[in-house]
Amino acid sequence: MTVAPQFQFKDGILHAEDLSLTQLADTYGTPLYVYSRQALHDAWLAYQQAARGRDVLVCYGMKANSNLAVLNEFRQLGSGFDIVSGGELARVLAIGGDPSRIVFSGVGKQVWEMKAALDAGVKCFNVESEAELQRLSDVAVEVGKVAPVSLRVNPDVDAHTHPYISTGLKENKFGIDIEKAPEAYQLATKLPGLQIVGLDCHIGSQITEVAPYLDALDKLIVLIKALAEQGVKLKHLDLGGGIGIRYTDETPLSPTDLLDRVFETLAENKLDHLQIVLEPGRSLVGNAGVLLTTVQYLKHNDSKNFAIVDAAMNDLIRPTLYDAWHSVEAVKPRSTNAATPLYDVVGPICESGDWLARDRKLALESGDRLAIMSAGAYAFTMSSHYNTRPRAAEIMVDGDQAHVVRPRETLESLFQDESILP
């Protein structure tokens, strides 16, 4: 089973920490997102131990899971935040997050978002184009503030991951071509209302080896030295996020594996004075959550067996979007044998792409509960109301206590703000 150790079988029933998932499903219904508080803390501790007193700022990439309870756990642990929208900024401020520990990423920042971030006093804007530099300069001058900037460069490095979550190649929309970065930095030095503070790079997501990071770092070091010759001094180097987790048989890269090599390389180049900023998302929350669902019907035909459940692609879109694998565990499993059928686990949505898992050997009956594992990242945050389906509740488990951190939506809430013509 490929999850955090806080999800284990006890007396034949899958638990989240000290609570039975059967009990949680009975109490709160399904579909249901269940998170482990201890798993969040343990994932954070791995980064804290990897830093070992060195100047490292971990900014949680909150697009992975932006529930306020999750954000507040990381705030209390000392995390900064990597945001990509004005809405995410509002969430961080709502839980009392420190704006000076916020980095604002994203290719399409709007004027109102820039103004909100300047008013809050974020650590820096990760700027992704010369057009954005010009707009940010105009906005900063208009509001009478100085915008700290870090240019996100695209190093043309293959992260060896799914093309939809690869961001460091020339054909990707993200960042400034590293070969054109010196010109962009010179533009930034001339524009009013801007202060250069760093250099940013993010090459992709679900990365399981250190080599792509080191390939990117080699190119960044060449750029840093070239900028220094032009009089551009940097305070920090942002290496982004992207460390992967184990969904099936991956061997994840640890934060220590990455940071030890990064600091070794920087020391060799006399650049270890730079603060390192990291933006992990999935690796902090991915294995800390599961999606609980109930089998509604079993359907058999000549070529396929289907377990039709009450969760759907609107609850977890990763399988149909990325062809992503999520382990599926029966909450109260029965024994299997050679005759046990393979099931496609599918939802009730009217799309052929509405599937959560394919060809899984499961001994099932209608009414059984299943846990879709590793659903702490990019599950609820990518959920939708497709087919007018209320989004599921989110539960945080702390030992033997369950806390509703977001209630299940009601049908009426889905259209209460809509109106019809007179």
Distances in whole angstroms, Cα of residue 267 to Cα of each of 9, 207, 223, 272: 46, 24, 16, 5
Instruction: Tell me: pLDDT of 360 over 60.
Output: yes
Dist CA 11 CA 228 (whole Å): 62
- What's the pLDDT score for residue 204? 87
Residue 40 has what pLDDT? 98
* For residue 257, pLDDT beyond 90: yes
Residue 85 has pLDDT above 80, yes or no: yes
DSSP-derived secondary structure letter, 100: G
The catalytic site residues sit at: 350
Under the banding of pLDDT at 50, 70 and 90, the label for residue 164 is: very low
Q: Which ranges in the chain are annotated with CATH 3.20.20.10?
A: 105-280
Burial of 300 (0-12, 13-18, 19+ CB in 10 A): exposed
Name the segment(s) of the chain with CATH classification 2.40.37.10: 7-36+286-415
pLDDT at 401 over 50: yes
Q: How many Cβ atoms sit within 10 Å of the Cβ of residue 339?
A: 6
Q: Label residue 172 by pLDDT band (50, 70, 90).
A: low
Question: Would you state the pLDDT for residue 239?
Answer: 96
| Cβ within 8 Å of residue 381, ≥6 positions away | 63, 64, 65, 66
Predicted local distance difference test score (pLDDT) of residue 167? 44
Range 7-36+286-415 classified under CATH 3.40.50.800: no
Structure tokens at 71: 């954000």
What is the tens place of the pLDDT at every residue in 133-154? 999 999 999 999 999 999 999 9
Q: How many CA atoms lie within 13 A of 417 on its CB side?
A: 2
Q: Which two tokens stand for residue 238?
A: 């942002």
Helix axes 181-190, 130-143, angle to 10 degrees: 20
User: Quick one: pLDDT at residue 380?
Assistant: 98
* Band (273; pLDDT cuts 50, 70, 90): very high
Residue 125 near residue 197 (C-beta atoms within 8 A)? no
In which region does residue 388 sit, left (phi positive, over 0), alpha (psi from -120 to 50) or beta (all else)?
Answer: left
SS (H, E, C) 241-282: CCECCCCCCCCCCCHHHHHHHHHHHHHHCCCCCCEEEECCCH
In whole numbers, what is the pLDDT of the chain averaged over residues? 94
Classify burial at 171, counting beta carbons within 10 Å of its beta carbon; exposed 0-12, middle 13-18, buried 19 or more. exposed
Q: State which amino acid sits at residue 173.
A: K
pLDDT of 171 higher than 70: no
pLDDT at 170: 52
pLDDT for the residue 177:
92
Contact in structure between 313 and 351 (CB atoms under 8 Å): yes
DSSP code string of 331-356? SSPPP--TTPPEEEEE-SSSSTT-EE
- Domain 105-280: CATH superfamily is Alanine racemase (3.20.20.10)
Decide if pLDDT at 178 tops 60. Answer: yes
User: Which residue's structure tokens are 């995390």?
Assistant: 79
Q: What is the pLDDT of residue 159?
A: 58
Query: In the predicted model, is pLDDT for residue 165 greater than 90?
Result: no
Q: What's residue 251's pLDDT?
A: 86
pLDDT in tens, 304-354: 999 999 999 999 999 999 999 999 999 999 999 999 999 999 999 999 999
CA distance 201 to 341: 46
Please write the tens of the pLDDT for every residue from 5-46: 999 999 999 999 999 999 999 999 999 999 999 999 999 999
Q: Residue 206 — left, alpha, or beta (φ > 0 → left; ψ -120 to 50 → alpha)?
A: left
Q: What does the alpha-carbon distance between residue 173 and residue 348 come to, in Å, rounded to a whole number?
A: 34
